[in-house]
Structure 1
Amino acid sequence: MGEPGNPGPSRNYALWLVLGIPAATVVAGIWTIVAISSESGVDADPDPVRRTAQVQVVSIEADQAAATRGLSARVEIDGGGALVRLGQSTGPVAPRLQLIHPIESTRDRQIELAPHPQGWRANEPVAARHGWQLRLVAADGSWRVVGRYHPGDTTVELVPSVAAP
C-alpha cells in the first residue's frame, strides 16, 4: 500500500502512458509491415503492372480491341453457375471468365467455360456475399470486357472499359 499522498503503483497512470504508448506504436508498426508484405496486400488487379515513379500503368490494348470490335456480353447467374451470352461470335475457343475480388487478390477465381447452345456455360457458382469484378477475356488475351457483380444480381452486363476509337 502506498503512503498517504502517494497514489501507489497501481494508480500511477502517467507511468502507464509513458510505457503503453510506445509499446502500442511498436506493435502497430510491426503489424503494418506484416500486412503490407503479405501476398494479398499487393495489387488487387491481376494484370501485369508497370510502375513508373508512383504511378501504376496497365496495358489497355485488350479493352481497345473489344471496343473496336463492338464486343459485349451478358452473364446470367443462377444457383449452379452462369450462362455467358456474347453479343457476337468470337470463335470456337472458349473465353475465360475471371472473378476479381475487390480487396484480396488471393480470392480471385478463373472459371472455365463450356459450350452451350445459347453461349458459354460456367458450371461453378458465381454468386457470392461480396462483389466481384467480372472479366470475360479471350483465350489468347486479345480482347476483354468487364462488369461489376453485386450480391443478389442475376444479370451482369459486360462491356469494354474504354470507348471505341
Structure 2
Amino acid sequence: MKTEQRSPWREPMVWLVAAIPALSFFAVGGLFWAASRAGGVDRVADRVERTGQIQVANTGPVEQAMQRGLKALIKWDGKRLEVYPASGTFDRSQNLILKLHHPVTADEDRSVSLIGTVHGWAAEVALPTGHDWLLELEPQDGSWRLEGRWPAGQQAALLAPSLAVAQ
C-alpha cells in the first residue's frame, strides 16, 4: 500500500516551529515599546542621582516646607483650580506652580501656573478626572515644595511636606 505524501506546508508542526519564535519577537518588541512610553511610578518626580546602589535626592525644599509648617488645600470645580493656605506662612506675593503627574504615563503630566488671589491662588484649567493625580506645589523659585495625591473623582486634596517629622 502506498500512502500519499502531504506537502510540508500542510503540517501544523512546521507552522508552530516558525510561528512561535516570530510571535515571541513581536511580543518582546511590543514590551520594549510599552516600557519606553511609560512614566515613573514614584510618588514624587524628583531628579535622583545614582552612585552604585545609593540614590541621592535633594530634600531641601521639603525640609523648608516642614520648618515653615506649610500645608495647602487644593480644590477644583470643573473649570477653576484654587489653592488655599491651610497652615504656615506663605508668601502671598509669589505665584505658584502646580505639577500634576499622571501615576503611570509621563506623557500626560501637566504643569499649571497659579496666580495670587484674595484668598489664595487660582487658574482656569481643564483636567481629566478618570484617574488619580500626584501633585507637587512650589513657588517659582523652588524654595519649598508640598506634595499630595488627588484620588479620582474627588474635588479637593490636601498638600503637605512628604517627609515625616523626626521625633
TM bucket (normalised to shorter chain) is 0.7 to 0.9
Residue 113 in structure 1 maps to residue 100 in structure 2: no
Change (3 A) 1:35 1:52: farther
Per-residue deviation, residues 107-160 of structure 1 (Å, max 9, x unmatched) = 111101112111001211345211110111121111111111122111100010
Aligned to 1:52: 51
Aligned to 1:90: 90
- Please provide the CA RMSD for this pair: 2.4
- Give the secondary-structure state (helix, strand or coil) at the position aligned to 1:114: strand
Give the TM-score normalised by structure 2: 0.82
* CA deviation after TM superposition for structure 1 residue 97, in Å: 0.7
Tell me, yes or no, if the aligned pair for 1:83 and 1:120 is still in contact at 8 Å: yes
* CA deviation after TM superposition for structure 1 residue 86, in Å: 1.4
Q: Distance in 2 between matches of 1:6 and 1:127?
A: 63
Per-residue deviation, residues 38-61 of structure 1 (Å, max 9, x unmatched) = 4x3454554322123355433222
- Give the secondary-structure state (helix, strand or coil) at the position aligned to 1:22: helix
Aligned to 1:139: 140
Stretches of 4+ aligned residues off by more than 4 angstroms: 3-11
Tell me, yes or no, if the aligned pair for 1:146 and 1:160 is still in contact at 8 Å: yes
Residue 26 in structure 1 maps to residue 17 in structure 2: no
Letter in 2 for 1:64: E
Q: Distance in 1 between matches of 2:4 and 2:85?
A: 82
Aligned to 1:71: 70
- Give the secondary-structure state (helix, strand or coil) at the position aligned to 2:33: helix
Unaligned runs of 5+ in 1: none
Change (3 A) 1:5 1:109: same
* CA deviation after TM superposition for structure 1 residue 30, in Å: 2.6
Tell me, yes or no, if the aligned pair for 1:146 and 1:158 is still in contact at 8 Å: yes
Q: Distance in 1 between matches of 2:84 and 2:132?
A: 21
* CA deviation after TM superposition for structure 1 residue 163, in Å: 1.8
Q: Distance in 1 between matches of 2:105 and 2:153?
A: 21
* CA deviation after TM superposition for structure 1 residue 5, in Å: 7.4
Change (3 A) 1:129 1:164: same
Letter in 2 for 1:72: K
* CA deviation after TM superposition for structure 1 residue 101, in Å: 0.9
Tell me, yes or no, if the aligned pair for 2:85 and 2:120 is still in contact at 8 Å: yes
Instruction: Name whichever of 8-17 and 56-65 sits farther off.
Output: 8-17
Give the TM-score normalised by structure 1: 0.83
* CA deviation after TM superposition for structure 1 residue 66, in Å: 0.8
Letter in 2 for 1:78: D
* CA deviation after TM superposition for structure 1 residue 9, in Å: 4.8
Aligned length: 161
Q: Distance in 1 between matches of 2:16 and 2:56?
A: 45
Unaligned runs of 5+ in 2: none
* CA deviation after TM superposition for structure 1 residue 28, in Å: 2.1
